Amino acid sequence: MTDPKRISVEPEILDAESKSEAILRKALKLAAHIPFARDVIAMVYAMRDPEVPLAKKATIAAALLYFVSPLDLIPDFLPGGYLDDAAVIAAAFKGVQDIISDEHLARADALLQKYKNA
């Protein structure tokens, strides 16, 4: 079932069964508050790219799962609660930046812009 309150984003990336939907929703919800939202979204696009090697996808998946996990080293509701998320995302992004294409980044920028204008 589709939740009418759900953020509407590019349907070719997100579908009702997609785990990346939760990741993108969280990143978009927090985009104004976290400087690494672009990296998170670009990694989602890279993970969904069939050209990206499985080992790189595994690195991305682990980082993104930590990002959306309710069990954080520092709970998100505390001041500085996103520091652990930022560290995990930054480390993963550094490890996979060789496969993050200009297209992944451009699509992330477009999605962020679309959300800001909505």
pLDDT-based confidence at 19, cuts 50/70/90?
A: low
Q: Which residue has better confidence, 31 or 108? A: 108
Q: Where are the alpha helices (DSSP H) in the chain?
A: 20-30, 37-47, 54-68, 83-96, 102-117
**Whole-structure pTM value:** 0.72
What are the residue ranges spanned by the domains of the chain?
A: 20-117
User: Could you tell me which residues come within 8 angstroms of residue 99 by beta carbon, excluding any fewer than 6 positions away?
Assistant: 46, 52, 53, 56
58 has pLDDT over 70? yes
Q: Do 71 and 88 touch, CB atoms closer than 8 A? A: no
Residue type at position 50: P
